[in-house]
Structure 1
Amino acid sequence: MTDVTDRIGNVTRQRYEQLVSQAKELIAQVARAQFALGDMALEIEPMRAVGGSMPNGTDDLFTVTESLQMFADDIGVERRTVEDWRYTANRWPEKRRKEGVSFTVHRILASVVDDDERWAAIEDAPFNPRTGARQWTPDGAKRVVGQRVDRPVTVDEKVQAVADLTRDDEVAAQVATGLLKRPTVTEHVTPAERVRVVTELTRDDTVAQQVTTDLLRRPAVARKAMRDDTTRMLVNRAQFDNSNETRDRIRERTPAVRAIEHTIEYLDLVGSCHSFVATLGRLVPQLRGQEFTEDERETVRRQSGRVRAAADWLEGALDNGEFTLDEQLVQLLKGE
């Protein structure tokens, strides 16, 4: 009894080999027939340069398309088929046609621009690892001319096939979701690509908020993130803004809070003035007998100017109720 593993489809391997041999003979006959049909189409309408006239110098009674359409109709095929025959036959003169190679492979290799390269290409059949022999297949020819193959084998070919199948955003989203659930896939994604993906996925503020909250709950992540000056500044700013928002809500709900804050702020202001005067009263007497360089004296004068500006601003604010800082005063208080 024949082993099941020694069968191909519904036939034995021996019968399969017989069928392949017979099919190759038929394919060779088909190729010769297709080339013959292409030669006929060329005889009816020779290839000519764009804008060229009829080779015999006569006026055109029919356009090329009309002539080929008539021929196609009369033999019962599509005009496009006739055009393929004609083009391929023109690219492969009779002496250059390779016996045993299908018309399909000839048609694909016909796109090789240089004649010499085309002649050389068809003589160099690629190795077929399945059969262990050098032989032409349509995909093998497509690889030579850089066309997309029907059965991708290499990583690049498979990536291109996936890219073609995922041009639709909905399909791409489902495929990406499925792939990212596979640990062996995600571990091959570079850190830079992971950052880019996370950035794209967190453009929505709600999503970004949830992701950030979850990430900062991881001590190691939070600690390293806070080492960045910009991040730390923004976090501090956010905390300050949140405090202001909370205080504003409390003020709206409890008007008495504002009166309490006023008292606290007033006491802070008076206390700051008193503390400054007291500090000067303690330090200035201790400077008796000390020598100062010109740079040191200039530094003290500059700081004294800032103190006077701040005091003038305070007095003016109390008199006219204007408590905002103008740009010039801000720069002065910053020492700029």
Structure 2
Amino acid sequence: MSEETEKVGSVSQSRYDEIVAELRQVVEQQTRGSFTIGDRALEVEPMRGWGGQHAAPGQELFTVRETLFRLAEDIGLAYKTVESARWTASRWPREHRQAGVSFRVHRILGQIENEDERFATIAKPPAGGTRWTVDEANRRVGRQVERPASPQEKITAIHSLARDEEVAATVTTDFLKRPTVAAKVPAAEKARVVEEFTRDEAVATTAATNLLRRPDVAFRAMSDDTARFHVNQAQNERSRQAREHFEDTSPVAPAIRHIDRTVEFLDLVTACHSFVAAAGRTVPGLRDRTLSDDERTIVHQNVAKVRATLDWIETAVDTGKVDMDDELARLLKGE
């Protein structure tokens, strides 16, 4: 495409270049005007020390603010405009002000504390550029840019926009609905996020219920000894509470207590029979097979649990005491 037909917005490239040249002159005039305002404000109220340094905008003494307010009103400008111009002028003596660099860039780079570094920086535009831009100046002093380019700048911009808790919650929800975004979050971070989201007991209950309805999740969860122990404990506690409620409220409870004891006896005998039958089917399959050290360790650990459980059963049958001691509880939890 030739220069005559190439467009920038609604104008040709050549016309755009003319507009840029014209506006650079306007910006240069504005820069000189802003420095003039700053210089005159400095003449009226020279910079004063504040904590060992010249006062930054917003840190002026009350009497200085009063004078600057009066000056701003008398020339028809906002106090902040006059205050900023005065501070910027104090950071840039006349011999160090750069032609072709906007007043805003001077103000941003004025935050560089070391004078020698400040004066050397503004005289040398960033690598690859011929002029200072506002974004490059902000990058130089570590401030947020208006047009983020690097991933970190984009992250910073998002954090800045999401400072409000409601905005952050909505953005997080929207992001996590995107499968490609969720897939890039490390597993450990996902687990931590889920834990944070489920601190509320009602939310945790709903989440756990929904997750345990997934067979693969339920299977893996129950492979954890501690999780399985707590689930069994919860089931036993729920059964105990239901039974107590029934015995306290039902008029037929006394009549079926004898039946309950019979059912418990049958359940216990059935459990023992099931274990013996399962062992009878499985153990013969170990003939001529040598288990690894890890496999033998796991089997021995489970045999210890079974042996401790059998002792518990015998104690309960002989004495009627069903409370398990701390050592047995830790063993069944896998501790």
Shared fold (TM-score greater than 0.5)? yes
State the distance in 1 between where 2:144 and 2:30 align.
Answer: 25
The aligned residue for residue 46 of structure 2 is: 46
Superposition deviation, residue 213 in structure 1: 3.0
Task: Please show how residues 1-336 of structure 1 align to structure 2 within 5 Å.
Answer: 6-50=6-50, 63-127=63-127, 133-251=129-247, 252-253=249-250, 254-255=252-253, 256-261=255-260
Which consecutive residues of structure 1, in runs of 5 or more, have no partner in the other structure?
A: 53-61, 269-305, 318-322
- Checking the alignment, whether the CA contact within 8 Å between 1:250 and 1:257 is kept in structure 2 is no
CA shift, 1:84, in A, is: 1.5
CA distance in 2, matches of 1:238, 1:76: 74
Q: Deviations over 1:211-269 (max 9, x none)?
A: 3233233343233222322112101112222332343354343321124345778999x
8 Å contact kept, 2:4–2:13:
no
Q: Indicate the SS of the match to 2:190.
A: helix
Change in CA separation of 1:222 and 1:22 when aligned onto 2, cut-off 3 Å: same
Larger radius of gyration: 1
CA distance in structure 1 between the partners assigned to 2:326 and 2:196 by the alignment: 39
CA offset digits 1:193-215 (Å, max 9, x no partner): 11122122223334333332332
- Relative to structure 1, the CA distance from residue 177 to residue 266 in structure 2 (aligned partners, 3 Å threshold; closer, same or farther) is closer
Structure-2 separation of matches of 1:179 and 1:187: 11
What's the CA shift for 1:5? 7.9
Instruction: Check conservation: 1:127, 1:135, Cα contact below 8 A.
Output: no
Deviations 1:285-321 (A, max 9, x none): xxxxxxxxxxxxxxxxxxxxx9xxx89x96xx9xxxx
- Residues 1:69 and 1:175: Cα distance change in structure 2 (over 3 Å): closer
Size of the aligned set, in residue pairs, is 270
**Which residue identity does 2:10 align to in structure 1?**
N
Q: Secondary structure at the match of 1:121?
A: helix
Which residue in 2 is equivalent to 1:296?
Answer: none
Change in CA separation of 1:332 and 1:246 when aligned onto 2, cut-off 3 Å:
closer
Q: Which moved more, 1:161-170 or 1:259-268?
A: 259-268
Q: In the aligned structure 2, how far is the partner of 1:6 from the partner of 1:260?
A: 95
- Equivalent-residue separation in structure 2 for 1:37 and 1:206 (angstroms): 62
What is the rounded CA distance, in whole Å, between the counterparts of 2:218 and 2:266 in structure 1? 37
Q: State the Cα deviation string for residues 78-113 of structure 1 (Å, max 9, x = none).
A: 232222221111110111111110111001111110
* Amino acid of the structure 2 residue aligned with 1:233: F
**Structure 2: any 5+ residue segments left out of the alignment?**
53-61, 268-310, 330-335
TM-score for both structures, normalised by structure 1 = 0.69
In the superposition, relative to structure 1, how do residues 36 and 204 fare at CA in structure 2: closer, same or farther (>3 Å)? closer
Query: Aligned letter for 1:140?
Result: E
Letter in 1 for 2:257: R
TM-score (norm 2): 0.69
**In structure 2, what is the Cα distance between the partners aligned to 1:234 and 1:5?**
75
Q: Is the 8 A contact 2:3 2:13 kept in 1?
A: no
Q: Structure 1 11/220 Cα, relative in aligned 2: closer, same or farther at 3 Å? A: same
Give the conservation status (yes or no) of the 8 Å contact 2:41–2:68: yes
Partner of 2:59: none
Cα deviation for residue 184 of structure 1 reads 1.1
Distance 1:82 1:209, change over 3 A: closer
User: How many angstroms does 1:43 deviate by?
Assistant: 1.8
